[in-house]
């Protein structure tokens, strides 16, 4: 399977976290693909617009060149997101809409989400790895 990087992992890459860099190299050696959600792109980009961080911005721009950004252009993703939202709400376990959209993207595209966000553990059917706790 291939991987979808959550916003917190992309943030660690931008900050040059060595453990995450090593795991990415391992994944590349296995010839597996790594993707970024357009939701993560939005979350990171809006953060950069609020602060002056030219080096981090450049690293992010390079990351976006290295890995394909998955767009929300598939209604199946939005259908799955609505289903996840309703299911979690009925269980009294809501999570952020951005996390739901990233999870739905991963489920529909058969990707493993890489995240350090324990909220994603609530999403049934989601393949999840935490590269921070390796």
User: What digits encode the pLDDT tens for the residues 32-41?
Assistant: 999 999 999 9
**Boundaries of every domain in the chain:** 2-133
Residue 9 has pLDDT above 90, yes or no: yes
**CATH 3.40.50.1010 assigned to 2-133:** yes
Burial class (CB in 10 A: 0-12, 13-18, 19+), 55: exposed
Residue 134 has pLDDT above 70, yes or no: no
Band (pLDDT 50/70/90 cuts) for residue 83 is: very high
How far the first Cα of the chain sits from its last, in Å, is 18
**pLDDT tens across 101-116, in order?**
999 999 999 999 999 9
Angle at 73 between CA 5 and CA 126, to 5 degrees: 40
């Amino acid at each position: 399977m291939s991987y979808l990087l959550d916003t917190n992992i992309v943030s660690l890459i931008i900050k040059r976290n060595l453990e995450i860099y090593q795991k990415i190299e391992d994944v590349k050696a296995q010839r597996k693909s790594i993707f970024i959600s357009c939701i993560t792109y939005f979350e990171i980009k809006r953060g950069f617009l609020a602060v002056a961080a030219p080096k981090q911005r450049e690293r992010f721009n390079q990351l976006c060149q290295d890995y394909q950004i998955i767009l929300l252009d598939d209604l199946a993703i939005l259908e799955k997101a609505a289903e996840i939202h309703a299911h979690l709400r009925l269980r009294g376990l809501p999570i952020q809409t951005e996390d739901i959209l990233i999870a739905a993207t991963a489920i529909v595209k058969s990707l493993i989400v890489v995240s350090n966000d324990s909220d994603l553990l609530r999403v049934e059917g989601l393949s999840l790895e935490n590269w921070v706790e390796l």
